[in-house]
Structure 1
Amino acid sequence: MTAAKSTSKTRNTPAMPLAERLRPQSLGEVIGQQHLLGEGMPLRIAFESGQPHSCILWGPPGVGKTTIARLMASSFDAHFITISAVLGGVKEIREAVEQASIWRGQSGDLADAGGKRTIVFVDEVHRFNKSQQDAFLPHVESGLFTFIGATTENPSFEVNSALLSRAAVYVLQPLQEADLKRIVAVALERQALQAIESIAPAAVDRLVAYADGDARRLLNTLESLGVAAGNDKSGEVISEVTDAWLLKVLGERMRRYDKGGEQFYDTISALHKSVRGSDPDAALYWFMRMLDGGAEPKYMARRLVRMASEDIGLADPRALRLALDAAEVYERLGSPEGELALAQCVVYLAVAPKSNAVYKAFNEAKAFIKKDGTRPVPMHLRNAPTKLMKELDYGKNYRYAHDEEDGFAAGENYFPEGMAAPAFYRPVNRGLEIRIADKLNELKLKNNQKN
């Protein structure tokens, strides 16, 4: 959801939701997504060409997907049909096809019967199954209508490859702080917040932090403020929103948490260091502080997966699996039920044996590759799927480890010729890595004996 930057009064009736009243009516009014809509950018070029094309708008909620789709319809003078993948199905798709056929004209010529293009907009297209998505293909292929899908999920995984190949994918970003502040200014300029005439800078900052890049969330909150200002229990007319009044009215929603600021990163740092320091109580404290402050549990799940890889690693490989399982449980159950699984993960990570050996090895290998030259793969390690490659000695003298004693080709070299074997991975003396170190020492001894 985006908002307009025009200084004119709000359009339509006050009974409409604020987000709808402030919806842009032209491309020039759109706030945000300038990497797509700015001069010379892909979607701006598409608008200016006058030729609509099928596309998928991928981005988080409240960033302007529906707005852009509607603006395409008005810019191209096309009929606009909306289908919700949550509520609709093949029946709605068939009805859209019938409407598009009527509007296009019986002969298929746009000039017939005042024939017009049709844009079919599918909201949350990722919720359609394969057969439902396939129903669009022949009509997109024939040009009966232009397909526009909106999704919050990665279309590479959620949209059929056949449909994906017929549609350009545009990635929309969360709105920036400056964009959200402009939306607040627009709402005030258009006198859209009932008695509210101004909002103090501290309150604006809190509103913007709460919106977290989502214009619809911001506008819905502003609308709530307008209603509250007109029904204040003190009987006073609230013309200016102060930070104190904002917290009083929407305290449970306007937590003390700044999701984009220093406090956010300080708190996640405290959680991470408590886990690393093996203090489950402190880890739970900071975890709950973040949830109470409004942190997105999905973000917390991602950070827990990172902690499992960075600070525990192979000292306890089960930690990574448990972190992934906790993230999946939250995806299935949502809040608040799924938060318990995340808390369980926090405690497990805190008490698990710690190792950053893989993390350090990864960084050392990455740095080495950046400064080292591109060394050729030794002939005995190359793949030889063809006769010619075998004749060129690809794979010659390779020792198949499974055929060797104990499944180990002692003395074999797996590095490029002339390269000294680096010691990126150095197991720590904790958890499973104790056994891993023993195994590596045993294999090293066999190599030395062979050489």
Structure 2
Amino acid sequence: MFPDPHPGEGARAPLAERMRPRTLDEMVGQRRLLAPGTALRRAVESGNVHSMVLWGPPGCGKTTLALLLAQYADAEFVAISAVLSGLPQVREVLAEAQRRFDAGRRTVLFVDEVHRFNKVQQDAFLPHIERGSILFVGATTENPSFELNSALLSRCRVHVLEAVSADDIVAALQRALDDGERGLGGRGLQAAPERLRDIAEAADGDVRRALTLLEIAADLAEGEGGEITAATLAQVLADRTRRFGRQGEQFYDQISALHKSVRSSNPDAALYWFARMLDGGADPAYLARRITRMAVEDIGLADPRALQMSIEAWEAYDRLGSPEGDLALAQVVLYLASTAKSNAGYVAFKRAKDDVRTFGTAEVPMHLRNAPTKLMKSLGYGKGYQYDHDAEGGVALDQTGFPDVIGEKVYYEPVDRGLEIKLREKLDRLRAARKPDLP
């Protein structure tokens, strides 16, 4: 019999809980992992399961899969949450699992939001995983590579679960409408396929959320003739939101997508990711800072106006706030993505820093030193310096600007785009004329 995660609740349980799949065939989505014949499905069906980490977005089936593992393995299912449980409770659960193991029964220990446990708490599971007294199943919405310690990862397989498609969510919703035992069947409810599609798309890959929305819509529809209409859903879906984390992988994936779209001169994609992050609750001041970085890293001197416009848009946002100031940032995103690009300044700065580390405290050449006193002048400070404004063309080509130990270097190589075309022409001319045998 399928383990009931909420014994005694029965019909009082939320629809999403009542409709939780009881077999692998009832699960929607995750075909890559759980289609007939796949390695994980064969392992689950045979009861020969291994400790694992399930990584995926909310509502994709992590808890359900853990419950099914316990069912097929004929093991006890125990669930703890890293948000609510401390080390004493973890140790108590592990001790009970050991006693159960000694008596001949295995335990599937499901740890929800395992990424919230610190290293010491994560280490507590290691000896029990090695002994086999628990089948460890950790669930996380964050990248395990960053959030879980290497010792735990080395003892577990990581399975990546995907957001459930709208088509699969529609199937789950229809099943809930038709099911008279656990679902909404028998209540005389009706919903056109397009209304179920509206709910599925609003759920944004989260089956649990979709079933919750359906349950709310069903309660409203019972007082309106039993049909879930567009007007009904207008009330239910008024505050729909997209998946977004203020920190974590989704956050950094999206800022990466924005930056790379600007770099690729794709203003439409850049605007989409900017709007997506605002919609998800990203701090516009953070976006303003990152936009300014794009101006100096990827546009640079190909269009010096980009930095000026970024600063001005940032200041405009500070004065206007949201939503008015958002438009100023959106406009500069469009400009940065549309204008000429160059990372020549960024590359040049990295090269210069590398030489600073390589050559250490190289002496400043005597002719470049300041000589404010007679003693310093007598020691040769400033001797031989040529005042460039007095030289022909405004540049003294027979004196170096580098320490002797380094010699003349070329860090900055302007690209053939934007203003840097002109800068390249000038620098090529000066570098060719500068004496190659400078000391």
What range is the shorter-chain TM-score in?
Answer: 0.5 to 0.7
Superposed, 1:92-103 pairs within 5 Å as: 92-103=89-100
1:24 to 21, 31, 40: 21
Residues 117-141 of structure 1 show CA distances to partners (whole Å, capped at 9, x for unaligned) of 0111110011111111111111111
Instruction: Say if 1:355 and 1:428, in contact at 8 Å, map to a contact too.
Output: no
Matched, 1:50 2:47: yes
How many angstroms apart in 1 are the aligned matches of 2:129 and 2:236? 46
Deviations 1:236-278 (A, max 9, x none): 43x221223321x3252369x9xxxxxxxxxx99xx89xx899
* Structure 1 counterpart of 2:216, from 224, 231, 234: 224
The yes-or-no answer on 1:205 pairing with 2:197 is yes
1:313 aligns with 298
**Matched residues in 2 for 1:298 and 1:127: separation?**
22
- Counterpart of 2:134, as a letter, is F
String of CA shifts for 1:202-260, please: whole Å, max 9, x gaps: 21221111011110110110111122223x3xxx43x221223321x3252369x9xxx
Quote the Cα distance in structure 2 between the aligned partners of 1:104 and 1:338.
Answer: 58
- One-letter code of the match for 1:313? D
The one-letter code of the counterpart of 1:193 is L
Indicate whether 1:244 and 2:231 are aligned: yes
Deviation of residue 348 (structure 1)? 4.9
AA partner of residue 228 (structure 2)? V
Give the 3 Å change call, closer, same or farther, for CA 104–343 of structure 1 in structure 2.
farther
The alpha carbon displacement at 1:409 in A equals 9.3
Q: How does 1:375-386 map to 2 (within 5 A)?
A: none
RMSD value, Cα: 4.8
Code of the residue aligned with 1:23 in structure 2: it is: R
User: Does 1:123 find its partner at 2:107?
Assistant: no
Q: Which residues in structure 2 correspond to 1:155-304 (within 5 Å)? A: 155-191=144-180, 192-193=183-184, 195=187, 197-230=189-222, 232=223, 236-237=224-225, 239-247=226-234, 249-250=235-236, 252-253=238-239, 295-297=279-281
> For 1:32 and 1:403, how far apart are their aligned partners in 2?
64
Separation in 1, partners of 2:430, 2:144? 45
In the alignment, is the contact (CA less than 8 A) between 1:57 and 1:65 conserved in 2? yes
**Aligned counterparts of 1:216 and 1:447: Cα–Cα separation in 2:** 70
Compared CA separation, residues 144 and 445, structure 1 to 2 (3 A): farther
Can you give the 5+ residue segments of structure 2 that lack an aligned partner in the other structure?
Answer: 3-7, 243-256, 315-320, 344-402
- Count residues in correspondence: 337
Q: Could you say which residue in structure 1 is the equivalent of 2:377? A: none
CA contact (8 A) 1:193 1:225 kept: no
Shift of 1:168: 0.2
For 1:419-438, list aligned pairs within 5 A. 426-430=415-419, 437=424
Matched with 1:68 is 65
Taking a change above 3 Å as real, the CA distance of residues 445 and 346 of structure 1, as seen in their structure-2 partners, is: farther
2:137 is aligned with 1:153: no
SS of 2:11's equivalent in the other structure is coil
- Indicate conservation of the 8 Å contact 1:312/1:354, yes or no: no
Superposition deviation, residue 426 in structure 1: 2.9
Q: TM-score, normalised by structure 2?
A: 0.63
Q: Which amino acid aligns with 2:341?
A: A
Q: Give the SS at the match of 1:162.
A: helix
Q: How does 1:317-328 map to 2 (within 5 A)?
A: none
Percent identity at matched positions? 36
- Cα 1:339/1:78, change in 2 over 3 Å: farther
- Given that 1:63 and 1:172 are in contact with CA atoms closer than 8 Å, whether structure 2 keeps it comes out as yes
What SS class does the counterpart of residue 40 from structure 1 fall into?
A: coil
CA 1:165/1:339 → structure 2, altered by over 3 Å: closer, same or farther?
A: farther
Q: Give 1:85's match in structure 2, choosing from 82, 85, 94.
A: 82
Change (3 A) 1:403 1:19: farther
2:266–2:337 Cα contact (<8 Å) kept: no
Q: CA deviation at 1:59?
A: 0.4
Select between 74-83 and 345-354 the one with higher mean Cα deviation.
345-354
CA gap 1:445/1:150 in 2 versus in 1, 3 angstroms: farther
Q: 1:41/1:140 Cα in 2 relative to 1: closer, same or farther (>3 Å)?
A: same
Distance 1:277 1:296, change over 3 A: same
Q: Kindly indicate whether residue 123 of structure 2 is the aligned counterpart of residue 137 of structure 1.
A: no
* Mapped contact 2:87–2:121 kept (Cα < 8 A): yes
Q: Secondary structure at the match of 1:14?
A: helix
Amino acid at match of 2:114: V
Runs (5+) with no aligned partner, structure 1: 5-10, 106-111, 258-267, 327-336, 360-400, 411-422
Closer/same/farther in 2, CA of residues 353 and 71 from structure 1, 3 Å limit: closer
Partner of 1:365: none
Q: How does 1:101-120 map to 2 (within 5 A)?
A: 101-105=98-102, 112=103, 115-120=104-109
User: Residue deviations 1:111-160, cap 9 Å, x none?
Assistant: x4xx2001111100111111111111111112121111000000000000
Poorly superposed stretches of 4+, deviation over 2 Å: 11-14, 191-197, 286-292, 295-302, 304-312, 314-319, 337-359, 401-404, 406-410, 425-430, 433-450
Equivalent residue for 1:357, pick from 341, 345, 370: 341
